[in-house]
């Protein structure tokens, strides 16, 4: 009899690998992220509350227990007692430039089971296990990218052929993943899939204010890429926090190359979530006119969102995280903001041998 994991994976793409089912699971409470965008903001600790002051005047006081992270953009100042408190309580304190470039994060003591991290490191060195993990991470990415293209095909009937061709290409590339024997081969398939996927993105915004001629970054060369990069940064930090929460090392990845300061595992896990959580929101914000030319500091490279643009994106991001969805594998209703946490838990279960294969998140 097919296990739940096996049946789920077969709904994404056919596979000949045998699986076995795992045990139970648990959820964590969805907490909020505090975004600090106003210049010269001062954050202080007041009796386990976070006081937000601007120009010496207290604007709001927030119970610390309701927060999972604080994102500071630009010239924000954080008191030393609050830094220590956040580290002790596991509240991520993340710093960005005023344009959204990631600068760094303050972390407390490393949490989690040392045995789980040992299994993670061992999986990195095991070519068979590493290849299997990467295969399903990429199957999730291709499946979600294809679902987004088919959704656009239904909504933009004037561009239906564009989306159909790209979706068919992703299906063919997904099937190729079964025959890949190394991570390097799968990276090549992923690169081809990304090219096919992004080739259809111009049709998603055709007739609106912006155009798109391919993915670029560091720095973004056009408004669409600047918006995508900003959303990807938000997702990366959420995924990194989720991995830390279950005790995995965010720097020890399987797909992305490892180098100092790079959260390779967070980049791995966010691949399957880019299309449903980031790309979908970017297209919606653009096509609804919520992000316009006035949302940017300038329209020539480097193109960066201004404060007003970032506020629009962050408001939409936080609102979206509160919405609920039925998780396709767990078959439970959860807030969208908990998706990175559920996937981190599922990955940990695979590394503990509680699940034979990793079930990627598949948005339907």
Q: What percent of the chain has pLDDT over 90?
A: 47
| Domains detected in the chain | 10-14+114-351 (1.20.120.920), 33-106 (3.100.10.20)
Q: In the chain, what percentage of residues exceed pLDDT 70?
A: 88
The larger pLDDT score, comparing residue 348 to residue 110, is at: 348
Q: Across all residues in the chain, what is the average pLDDT?
A: 85
Instruction: Please tell me the distance from the alpha carbon of residue 22 to that of residue 199, in angstroms, as a whole number.
Output: 39
pLDDT band at 188 (very low <50, low <70, confident <90, very high): very high
> What pLDDT was estimated at residue 90?
81
pTM above 0.85, yes or no: no
pLDDT digits (tens, 9 = 90+) for 143-166: 999 999 999 999 888 889 999 999
* 23-27, 145-149, 207-211: least confident range: 23-27
First and final CA of the chain: distance in angstroms? 25
Q: Among candidates 256, 280, 266, 124, which has minimal Cα distance to 201? A: 280
Q: State both tokens at 80.
A: 């030393």
Q: Identify the CA nearest to 167 among candidates 203, 216, 123.
A: 203
pLDDT for the residue 125: 95
Model confidence band, residue 110 (pLDDT cutoffs 50, 70, 90): low
Please write the tens of the pLDDT for every residue from 196-208: 999 999 888 866 6
Task: Tell whether the model's pLDDT for residue 14 goes beyond 90.
Answer: no
Is 250's pLDDT higher than 80? Answer: yes
**pLDDT surpasses 50 at 171:** yes
């Amino acid at each position: 009899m097919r296990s739940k994991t096996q049946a789920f994976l077969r709904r994404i793409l056919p596979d000949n690998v045998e699986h076995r089912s795992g045990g139970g699971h648990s959820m964590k409470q969805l907490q909020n992220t505090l975004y600090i965008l106003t210049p010269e903001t001062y954050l202080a600790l007041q009796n386990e509350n976070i006081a937000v002051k601007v120009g010496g005047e207290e604007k709001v006081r927030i119970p610390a227990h309701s927060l999972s992270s604080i994102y500071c953009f630009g010239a924000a100042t954080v008191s030393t007692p609050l830094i220590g408190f956040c580290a002790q309580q596991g509240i991520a304190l993340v710093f960005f430039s005023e344009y959204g470039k990631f600068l760094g994060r303050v972390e407390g003591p490393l949490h989690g089971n040392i045995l789980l991290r040992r299994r993670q490191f061992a999986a990195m060195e095991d070519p068979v296990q590493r290849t299997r993990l990467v295969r399903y991470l990429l199957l999730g990415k291709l499946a979600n990218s294809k679902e987004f293209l088919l959704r656009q095909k239904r909504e933009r009937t004037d561009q239906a052929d564009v989306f159909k061709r790209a979706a068919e290409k992703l299906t063919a590339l997904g099937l190729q993943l079964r025959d890949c024997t190394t991570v390097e081969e799968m990276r090549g398939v992923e690169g081809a899939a990304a090219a096919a996927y992004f080739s259809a993105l111009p049709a998603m915004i055709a007739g609106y204010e912006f155009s798109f001629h391919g993915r670029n970054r560091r720095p973004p060369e056009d408004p669409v890429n600047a918006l995508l990069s900003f959303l990807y940064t938000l997702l990366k930090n959420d995924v990194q926090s989720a991995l830390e929460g279950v005790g995995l090392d965010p720097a020890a990845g399987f797909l992305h190359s490892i180098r100092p300061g790079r959260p390779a595992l967070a980049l791995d896990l966010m691949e399957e979530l880019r299309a449903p959580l980031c790309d979908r929101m970017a297209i919606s914000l653009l096509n609804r006119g919520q992000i316009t030319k006035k949302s940017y500091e300038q329209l020539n490279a480097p193109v960066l969102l201004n404060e007003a643009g970032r506020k629009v994106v962050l408001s939409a991001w936080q609102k979206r995280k509160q919405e609920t969805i039925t998780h396709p594998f767990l078959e439970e209703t959860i807030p969208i903001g908990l998706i990175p946490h559920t996937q981190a838990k599922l990955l940990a279960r695979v590394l503990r041998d509680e699940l034979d294969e990793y079930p990627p998140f598949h948005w339907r």
